[in-house]
């Protein structure tokens, strides 16, 4: 709702940039807006031959939908600074008359050494002025990438940075830049030049790792990575097959070694599962055990007399076989004596 007390007509000409030493709220380094640089701003504007947009919070610099708040129709360099002739849109007039917006933010391209303005690129409505002792309708600006326009960073009160500093960005771009710094393991104060150098170094190292030339493109490197991933999947399949073959071979070796030990009378059928597990854990130790173990079953007779585990008619348990050896009796003699007495000897 409009405030009737604020319906005064808006100025047609506004002071965008004061002349001389321009002090900033939070930076010790001032800008130098001398007559020569102000005249250069006017010449650059007029040489383009088009009106310069005034938008809201520099949205046109962020690639978003950016409705105009007004258009700069002309610039003029005066003794007190750079003045702009503005044609406002109805919506901007309402915002300004309701005091919802009070200041402007000129987007300037700066000389990195002299800090003198070189070109006016755009103006945005904002409510956070950064220039000291300045009337309303003037606000903050920042430098962007070398050779490019200055970029406003929203939400940061009056910060002025040198051209080429990646901190001069909107909040979304600043977040992305912070992620790039983290990825490249750069400090929070790393500027654009360091970031670009880090990115180039990363791709050079990646190309070398992929055994590709340093000037390989991103798409070429991505294709190389895809090929490596496919080769890795193929090798994983081969490794799985080899692992299965080794497992089967190990089981066959364990079964064979245990069977030979049973034939040699070194273990009983009741010890088969124990012997298999022993061999699986340490084949060498099992072979050493078999080599020094005493014979516990008669060679060639254990299959005939011990077809099943446990005691029973016509079968001897390992203890009875041991007793036969100690008494120097054959299993048959032991069984006959056992049958006569009805109990073990």
Q: Which helix (H) or strand (E) holds 142?
A: none
Q: Is-contact 56 66, C-beta < 8 A? A: yes
**Residue 208 within any structural domain of the chain:** no
Phi, psi of 8 (to 5 degrees): -65, 145
Tell whether 108 and 249 lie within a shared domain. Answer: no
Tell whether 85 and 156 lie within a shared domain. Answer: yes
Q: Is the pLDDT of residue 311 over 60?
A: no
**Residue 239 within any structural domain of the chain:** yes
pLDDT tens track for 191-212: 777 888 888 888 888 888 888 8
> Of 115-124, 129-138, 194-203, which range is least confident?
129-138
Tell whether 277 and 151 lie within a shared domain. Answer: no
The total number of structural domains in the chain stands at 2
Tell whether 16 and 159 lie within a shared domain. Answer: yes
Tell whether 20 and 159 lie within a shared domain. Answer: yes
Show the CA angle centred on residue 135, arms to residues 133 and 136, nearest 5°.
130
* pLDDT recorded at residue 314: 58
DSSP 172-198: HHHHHHHHHHHHTT--TT--HHHHHHH
Looking at residue 60, the DSSP 8-state letter turns out to be G
* pLDDT recorded at residue 26: 60
What is the average pLDDT value for the chain, to the nearest integer? 76
**Residue 196 within any structural domain of the chain:** no
R_g over Cα of the chain: 46
Tell whether 152 and 231 lie within a shared domain. Answer: no
Q: What share of the chain is helix, strand, coil (3-state, %, to 5)?
A: 45, 15, 40
Q: Which of 115, 134, 166 is the last residue of a domain?
A: 166
Tell whether 110 and 236 lie within a shared domain. Answer: no
Q: Which of 166, 188, 213 is the last residue of a domain?
A: 166
Domain that holds residue 305: 225-341
Q: Which of 151, 166, 181 is the last residue of a domain?
A: 166
Report how far Cα 222 is from the mean position of its chain's Cα atoms.
16
**Residue 212 within any structural domain of the chain:** no
Tell whether 122 and 237 lie within a shared domain. Answer: no
Tell whether 112 and 239 lie within a shared domain. Answer: no
**Residue 26 within any structural domain of the chain:** yes
* Cα-Cα end-to-end distance for the chain: 117
Label residue 172 by pLDDT band (50, 70, 90).
Answer: low
| Sign of the CA dihedral running 61, 63, 64, 67 | positive
**Residue 186 within any structural domain of the chain:** no
163 C-beta neighbours (distance < 10 Å), count? 23
- Average pLDDT estimate for 262-290: 88
**Residue 219 within any structural domain of the chain:** no
Tell whether 149 and 80 lie within a shared domain. Answer: yes
Cα separation, 92 vs 341, in Å, equals 122
* pLDDT recorded at residue 1: 41
**Residue 281 within any structural domain of the chain:** yes
What's the pTM? 0.40
* pLDDT recorded at residue 85: 93
Tell whether 158 and 287 lie within a shared domain. Answer: no
pLDDT tens track for 28-61: 778 888 999 999 999 999 998 999 999 888 787 7
As a residue count, the chain comes to 345
* pLDDT recorded at residue 343: 57
Q: Is-contact 111 164, C-beta < 8 A? A: no
* pLDDT recorded at residue 155: 33
Tell whether 30 and 148 lie within a shared domain. Answer: yes
pLDDT tens track for 231-244: 888 899 899 889 88
Cα separation, 313 vs 49, in Å, equals 118
């Amino acid at each position: 709702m409009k405030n009737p007390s604020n319906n005064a007509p808006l100025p047609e000409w506004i002071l965008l940039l004061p002349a001389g030493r321009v002090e900033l709220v939070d930076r010790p380094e001032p800008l130098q807006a001398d007559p020569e640089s102000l005249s250069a701003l006017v010449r650059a504007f007029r040489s383009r031959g088009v009106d310069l947009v005034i938008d809201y919070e520099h949205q046109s610099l962020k690639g978003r939908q950016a409705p105009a708040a007004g258009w700069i129709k002309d610039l003029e360099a005066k003794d007190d600074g750079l003045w702009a002739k503005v044609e406002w849109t109805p919506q901007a007039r309402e915002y300004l008359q309701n005091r919802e917006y009070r200041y402007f933010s000129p987007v300037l391209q700066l000389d990195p050494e002299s800090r003198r303005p070189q070109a006016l690129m755009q103006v945005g409505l904002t409510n956070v002025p950064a220039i000291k002792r300045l009337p309303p309708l003037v606000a903050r600006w920042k430098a962007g990438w070398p050779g490019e326009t200055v970029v406003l960073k929203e939400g940061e009160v009056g910060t002025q940075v040198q051209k080429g500093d990646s901190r001069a960005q909107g909040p979304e771009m600043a977040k992305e830049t912070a992620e790039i710094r983290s990825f490249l393991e750069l400090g929070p104060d790393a500027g654009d030049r360091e970031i670009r150098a880090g990115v180039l170094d990363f791709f050079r190292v990646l190309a070398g790792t992929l055994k590709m030339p340093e000037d390989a493109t991103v798409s070429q490197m991505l294709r190389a990575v895809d090929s490596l991933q496919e080769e890795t999947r193929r090798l994983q399949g081969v490794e799985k097959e080899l692992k299965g073959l080794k497992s089967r071979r190990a089981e066959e070796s364990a079964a064979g070694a245990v069977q030979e030990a049973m034939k040699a009378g070194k273990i009983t059928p009741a010890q088969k599962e124990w012997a298999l597990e022993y061999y699986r854990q340490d084949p060498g130790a099992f072979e050493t055990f078999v080599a020094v173990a005493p014979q516990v079953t008669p060679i060639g007779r254990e299959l005939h007399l011990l077809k099943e585990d446990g005691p029973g008619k016509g079968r001897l348990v390992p203890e009875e076989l041991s007793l036969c050896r100690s008494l120097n009796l054959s299993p048959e003699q032991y069984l006959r004596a056992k049958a006569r007495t009805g109990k073990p000897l």
